[in-house]
C-alpha cells in the first residue's frame, strides 16, 4: 500500500512539472497595433478676421514732371515697387542753376583773396617807405641839417607816406571772407540733384491694390502731393494673426459648423492674408487653424510604439510568435501619432512600450 502511494506521488509530481513547463514556455500576451499608412499634420490656432477695407496714400517725395506712369487702377503693388518716372528736364535745370550759384561763389572767393593780397602788399610798401623816410630824417637831424632844404624835403616825404596810409586799406582792415556754410549747402544740393537724376523713379511705400492714381503723364507733381491711393486690406480677404505664419500654409476656417480650406497667399509685417472663398459667411464667429507641418502617405504608429536608447530609435515587431527589434527612422508627430519613414511596413504588428521587451522574446497578440 505504501508503494502505491509513492508511485502515485511520483506520477503527480511528473504531471505537475510538465504543467509548469507548459506555463513557462507559453508566449507572453502583449498589446500590439498594426502599422497603418496615411497623412499626418501639426496645426496651431490662428485668429481669423474678416477685413474691413483700409486705404493708404502714397505721396511724392520730390517735385517734378511725370514722364512715365508705371501703374494704373487695379494693379497690385508691394513696398518698393516702381510707380512712376519723373522727367529729368526740370532736375537738370535746377542742377545748372545751383552749379551757377557755386561758380559765382567761387568768383567772390577769388576776389576776396585778391583784395587781401593787395592790402597786404600796400601795408608792406607803406611800412618800407615810412621806415626809409624816418631813418633819413633821423640821420639829417644828427648832421644838424634841421634848417636845410634837405631836412624839409624829408619831412614832406614822411607826411606824404602818412597821407597815403590814410587812404590805403591794409590786411588787418579787410573784412574776413568765409563761405564755408554756403559752399556746403550748395554742394549738398548738387549731390542730391545728381542722385535724383540718376534715379528718377518714384517707389511705392505701401502694399496692396491701387484704387486711384492722382496724376497723368506730363503733369507736374509737387513734393507731398498724393500720387496714388492703395487699398492695403481688401474686403475680399481674411486677416490672419498668429505665430509661425508663412506663405503657402493651409488654413482651415470653420464657421457655423462648416469648414473652409484656404491658403495663406500674402504676408505683410507678420500678418497673413487669405482670399475669402465664394459663399463664405459674412457673419458668425470664425475658428481658424493653420497647418504648420504635414507628412503625406507615410507609415503611422502611436508614439508609444517607438522607443529610443543608445542604439537609436526602434520598434518591437511581432514576427509570428517572436518579438524582433527593428531600427526605425521617424519624422514629425502630432502628439499622439508619429510618422515612421523607414524600418516598418504597412500591416506589421508593433508592440506598445517596446522598451519593456527583449529582442527574440516569445509573445502573442493580446486578444
Handedness of CA 82, 86, 87, 89 (dihedral sign): negative
Residue 323 confidence class, pLDDT cut points 50, 70, 90: very high
Return the pLDDT at 8.
42
> How long is the chain?
367
The pairing of beta strand 54-59 with beta strand 208-213: unpaired
Structural domains present in the chain: 27-38+296-365 (2.40.420.20), 43-52+235-294 (2.40.10), 55-84+200-233 (2.40.50.100), 90-177 (no CATH)
The answer on pLDDT for 134 being more than 60 is yes
CA atoms of 100 and 95, how far apart (whole Å): 9
Residue 32, classed as helix, strand or coil, is strand
Task: Decide: residue 305, CB within 10 A, 0-12 exposed, 13-18 middle, 19+ buried.
Answer: buried
- The answer to whether the beta carbons of residues 48 and 253 sit under 8 Å apart is yes
CA atoms of 28 and 71, how far apart (whole Å): 76
The answer on pLDDT for 157 being more than 50 is yes
Q: For residue range 35-73, what is the model confidence (pLDDT) as tens digits?
A: 999 999 888 888 888 887 778 899 988 788 888 888 999
Which cell numbers in the block locate residue 196? 535724383
The answer on pLDDT for 2 being more than 70 is no
Q: For residue range 159-180, what is the model confidence (pLDDT) as tens digits?
A: 766 666 665 655 556 567 788 8
Counting residues of the chain whose pLDDT is more than 70, the rounded percentage is 81
**102: Cβ–Cβ under 8 A, 6 or more apart, which residues?**
183, 186, 187, 190
The pairing of beta strand 363-365 with beta strand 28-30: parallel
pTM: 0.42
More confident residue, 241 or 153: 241
The answer on pLDDT for 293 being more than 50 is yes
Angle between helices 180-198 and 89-142 (to 10 degrees): 160
Amino acid at each position: 500500500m505504501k508503494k502505491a502511494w509513492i508511485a502515485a506521488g511520483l506520477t503527480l509530481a511528473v504531471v505537475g512539472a510538465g504543467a509548469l513547463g507548459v506555463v513557462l514556455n507559453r508566449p507572453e500576451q502583449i498589446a500590439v497595433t498594426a502599422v497603418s499608412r496615411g497623412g499626418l499634420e501639426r496645426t496651431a490656432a490662428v485668429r481669423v478676421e474678416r477685413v474691413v477695407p483700409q486705404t493708404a496714400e502714397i505721396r511724392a517725395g520730390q517735385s517734378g514732371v511725370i514722364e512715365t506712369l508705371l501703374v494704373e487702377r487695379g494693379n497690385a503693388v508691394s513696398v518698393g515697387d516702381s510707380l512712376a518716372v519723373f522727367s529729368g528736364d526740370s532736375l537738370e535745370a535746377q542742377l545748372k542753376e545751383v552749379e551757377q550759384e557755386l561758380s559765382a561763389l567761387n568768383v567772390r572767393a577769388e576776389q576776396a583773396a585778391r583784395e587781401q593780397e593787395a592790402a597786404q602788399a600796400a601795408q608792406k610798401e607803406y611800412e618800407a617807405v615810412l621806415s626809409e623816410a624816418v631813418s633819413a630824417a633821423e640821420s639829417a637831424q644828427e648832421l644838424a641839417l634841421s634848417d636845410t632844404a634837405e631836412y624839409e624835403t624829408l619831412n614832406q616825404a614822411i607826411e606824404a607816406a602818412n597821407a597815403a596810409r590814410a587812404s590805403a586799406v591794409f590786411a588787418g582792415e579787410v573784412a574776413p571772407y568765409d563761405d564755408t556754410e554756403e559752399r556746403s549747402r550748395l554742394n549738398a544740393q548738387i549731390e542730391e540733384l545728381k542722385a535724383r537724376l540718376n534715379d528718377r523713379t518714384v517707389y511705392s511705400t505701401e502694399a496692396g491694390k491701387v484704387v486711384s492714381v492722382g496724376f497723368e503723364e506730363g503733369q507736374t507733381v509737387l513734393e507731398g502731393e498724393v500720387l496714388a491711393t492703395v487699398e492695403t486690406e481688401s474686403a475680399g480677404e481674411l486677416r490672419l494673426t498668429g505665430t509661425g505664419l508663412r506663405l503657402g500654409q493651409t488654413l482651415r476656417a470653420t464657421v457655423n459648423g462648416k469648414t473652409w480650406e484656404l491658403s495663406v497667399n500674402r504676408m505683410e509685417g507678420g500678418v497673413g492674408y487669405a482670399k475669402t472663398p465664394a459663399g463664405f459667411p459674412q457673419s458668425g464667429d470664425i475658428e481658424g487653424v493653420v497647418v504648420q507641418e504635414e507628412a503625406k502617405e507615410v507609415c503611422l504608429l502611436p508614439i508609444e510604439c517607438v522607443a529610443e536608447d543608445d542604439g537609436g530609435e526602434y520598434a518591437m515587431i511581432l514576427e509570428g510568435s517572436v518579438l524582433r527589434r527593428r531600427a526605425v527612422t521617424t519624422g514629425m508627430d502630432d502628439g499622439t501619432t508619429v510618422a515612421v519613414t523607414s524600418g516598418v511596413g504597412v500591416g506589421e504588428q508593433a508592440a506598445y512600450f517596446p522598451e519593456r521587451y527583449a529582442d527574440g522574446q516569445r509573445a502573442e497578440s493580446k486578444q
